Amino acid sequence: MNQFLIFYAPFIIVIAFVIALFYWGSRDMNEEDI
């Protein structure tokens, strides 16, 4: 189980980072629309 977590940890971090970028990007667009 530890090896599984260590192997996928970087992949999960990248996905979380991409989701955060899309979230902030959509927030910036909404602020510009107002």
Which residues span the domain enclosing 3?
1-26
Per-residue pLDDT of the chain (34 residues; tens, 9 = 90+): 789 888 999 999 999 999 999 998 888 776 666 5
CA 28 from chain center: how many Å? Answer: 16
Residue type, 20: A
Domain contains 4: yes
Domain contains 17: yes
**Which two tokens mark 2?**
């530890």
Q: Quote the CA–CA distance of 34 and 28 in Å, as a whole number.
A: 10
Number of domains the chain contains: 1
Domain contains 33: no
pTM, entire model = 0.55
Domain contains 5: yes
